[in-house]
Structure 1
Amino acid sequence: SQKFKAIGTLAGGIAHDFNNLLMGIQGRTSLMSVDLEPSHPHSDHINAIEDYIRSAADLTRQLLGFARGGKYEVRPIDINELLHESATMFGRTKKEIRIHTKLQNLSPVVAADRRQLEQVLLNLYVNAWQAMPDGGDLYLETEIVTLDDAYCKPYQTKPGHYAKVSVTDTGIGMDKSTLQLIFDPFFTTKEKGRGTGLGLASAYGIIKNHAGMITVYSEVGQGTTFNIYLPVSDQDVHREDPAENELIKGSETILLVDDEEMIIDVTQALLERLGYQVIVANGGEKAVERISEMGNEIDLVILDLIMPGIDGGTTFDRIRKIQPKMPVLLSSGYAIDGQAHAVMRRGCNGFIQKPFNITELYPSPAFHPPAHISICAGGCALLTNPKPAPSGGIIYFQDPNAKLL
């Protein structure tokens, strides 16, 4: 437990710094892509770079998931629906695998971060596929089970009703020595280039962070079964009607607060490209000064959470003392963790994780922002009239259907 905690802290710090670097690369690449016609000879190179950035961002999400700092926003999730959608998506690309599903008649509902659970399931599917190089069968099953204290105590979870998800393959299986290390970070049995050793460690951290447990059973030549247990929720699943994406531009004034010049430069360029007036503040002290001097002229603050001196949380409190109704959006290379949760509970309007690009600056008012703020899926809050658009991305505003843990 202590080893996992120490490595998790290290992994979270690495992921945060790496995401900040990716933000600089992603932002500049995004600005270049906007200026190029699709037929331009450099367009394919730019698209390839953006693909690599997305892969790197996925890797940092796995690091944050292992570090248990990667949970964003918890909502009621229909496990049957999630399993079916993720399996269908996976099956389209892996035709050599036969997928069989057996779903609980009464759909289990859990309170969870959908994107993170998708990550866990896809990691398990990929492991199963790699264990069956000549093809095979993948069995997916859901059921509701009741676990007593004797079963839960070793996992430090509470007894009660759980949604159980089983992922079983007919692959090569694992021996006992491998099973003992299977959830350790950076442990992998795959050849170089086929695995990072983070997939199952990340899955373990994510499920643990959702007050659940994950177990594995395997024998050499007999395949492998992973069982995931998540507490059943009595909440109703909230579904939204998707609409067309539309790039939104504006002219309002945004105060951008960060201690890293690279982040300020690229984010300012992205926002100005969308028509916004941007005032910058290098750190919390400067941000408070800007609000004191011209608070009535500022429509939104984008505030970095982790800064030397006055951190984002303290800066938020000081801003709200001067301008109690000022909309503030937290930004960080970390995902929402305990520190960000605390600021959100004090009334901060939303959270965005780096890196993001200009094409992700689309409105997503599946949430309910204050006043005239429209919300973006994966990018920034845009100061325009809100209008329906698909939810998604990695920016979250307070919502009556959502629950921050």
Structure 2
Amino acid sequence: MRRLFRKSNDHKYESPSFICMPLRTHEQVIGVLNLSRKRDHKAFSKSDLKYLKSLLTHISLAVENATLLKEAKDATRKLQQAVGEQSLQLIEIQQQALQSMEISHQAQKIEAMGTLAGGIAHHFNNLLMGIQGRTSLMLMDIDPTHLFYEHLKGIEEQVVSAANLTKQLLGFARRGKYEVKSTDLNELMKKTSRMFGRTKKEITIHCKFQEDLWAAEIDREQIEQVMMNLYDNAWQAMPGSGELILETQNARLDQDFSKLFSVTEGNYVQISVADNGCGMDEATRQRIFEPFYTTKEMGRGIGLGLASTYGIIKNHDGFINVYSEKGAGTTFNLYLPASENRVSEKRGTTEDILKGNEMILLVDDEKLILEVGKQILDKLGYKVIVAKSGQEAIEIYKEEQEKIDIVILDMIMPDVDGRVVYERLKEINPAVKVLLSSGYSITGQAQEILDKGCNEFIQKPYNLKDLSLKLREILD
């Protein structure tokens, strides 16, 4: 603080009525207060100076507080922005967690029901095997003009229908791959959409298939069933008329997306089936893959189509994502793992029943299967030895391996299962020929046995022609 006076001998201008006072905060000068008394030019008194010092202190504090308030507001704004961003991230993480829990819960529930459905289908197929076998035997011995011939053919057709039902059950139970081949899904989509379009003229089908689509390792018959199930579901949602949009594309799934659906990240083939039908609410969407759940009227479905679709895709190590809104249509997105293998060509089939005269060891723990199977093989001209358990089959083969040309081996047996029996037979004779048979399907344990060198697989219930063709494929 300095007072300046009028000019004196040292040439300084000094005045007791003019004063400069610095504004300080934390020993830092932030400004200067200039004061003068122009009216009376009186000098500032000591009490004036004391008052001005106090005033300056308050001004400095006010400036400091204002600065601090501004800084606090800026910090608060930045904090709110950061909290907002974190909150959005937390909400997104929470939504992903809830969605993942929902998917996991749904998968666990369907898995439990699938185990039950698979067991029922297995035993049901064994019963159908007895009906199919006896019907085939009667048809071989009866003239087509006989009164009962058409009835027997009708029974055979019903067995096929029942077997298709068990295939859907096995598909839902994720035990339903029968013959897996590297396949061009564009060709499969074209084939199935043409079949569907011929019977549903009121539906307009739009196709957008990616060129150079990756192949996929699939059971063609089952994926065709999946597509027909989805087409039929779309048709049911579009009474009168509507549009069906079919698309395929290559998809690379990252870790975050694949983790949400509990699959491995990597290359997938995506199939989309969309309709502009009535759509569904969230409660319905949550239940569409449950077996025997249906919103259709009586006589238009029993609720197994989408359940088996879910099981089949899961059994192919894929997954399904469904989007739907009430009144806005539905889109099913299917993802199947891509394959680097070349597309396999389909083999031609014959309608003839092929006979033989080789020796066959028939192994099964079901008495009915042994009785009917032996009679069928007898009709086909083969010589047959039966074994009613895995252990008995091993003992018979040790003694008769030179005479036995092929073994028909059941996969599920109570004492020694098919896998162990096959391994023991290979130890006895590395060149043994084996046709694996089961009421289940070519997946899991059956596939393991085939991978170890087992020749072929046949699904129960099989008819006389199918068995005759399988045997000649292996023996010839």
TM-score, with normalisation over the residues of structure 1? 0.86
Map 1:1-80 to 2 at 5 A: 1-80=107-186
**1:225 equivalent among 327, 331, 334:** 331
**2:279 equivalent among 173, 184, 188:** 173
SS of 2:339's equivalent in the other structure is coil
Give, in angstroms, the shift of residue 305 of structure 1.
0.9
Map 1:6-405 to 2 at 5 A: 6-240=112-346, 242=348, 244-361=350-467, 363=469, 374-375=472-473, 383=475, 385=476
The one-character-per-residue Cα deviations of 1:302-331 (angstroms, maximum 9, x if unpaired) are: 011111112222222222232332211211
Distance 2:184 2:249 in 1: 12
SS of 1:363's equivalent in the other structure is helix
The one-character-per-residue Cα deviations of 1:77-130 (angstroms, maximum 9, x if unpaired) are: 101000011111222222332322221122331122212211111111111122
Give, in angstroms, the shift of residue 11 of structure 1.
1.1
Amino acid at match of 1:363: L
SS of 2:272's equivalent in the other structure is strand
Conservation of the 8 A alpha-carbon contact between 1:245 and 1:362: no
Give the CA RMSD over aligned residues: 1.9
Conservation of the 8 A alpha-carbon contact between 1:255 and 1:278: yes
204-213 vs 298-307, greater mean Cα deviation: 204-213
Amino acid at match of 1:325: A
Conservation of the 8 A alpha-carbon contact between 2:214 and 2:340: no
**Which consecutive unaligned segments of at least 5 residues does structure 2 have?**
1-106
Higher normalized helix content (fraction of residues): 2
Give, in angstroms, the shift of residue 10 of structure 1.
1.1
Give, in angstroms, the shift of residue 240 of structure 1.
4.3
TM-score, with normalisation over the residues of structure 2? 0.74
> Percent same amino acid among aligned pairs?
55
Looking at CA atoms only, which structure, 1 or 2, has the larger radius of gyration? 2
Distance 2:159 2:458 in 1: 17
Amino acid at match of 1:374: R
Amino acid at match of 1:190: K
The one-character-per-residue Cα deviations of 1:32-56 (angstroms, maximum 9, x if unpaired) are: 2223333333222222222211111
The one-character-per-residue Cα deviations of 1:344-375 (angstroms, maximum 9, x if unpaired) are: 233322221100111324536xxxxxxxx632
Give, in angstroms, the shift of residue 61 of structure 1.
1.0
Amino acid at match of 1:133: P
RCO comparison, higher one (Cα < 8 Å, 6+):
1
Distance 1:361 1:281 in 2: 18
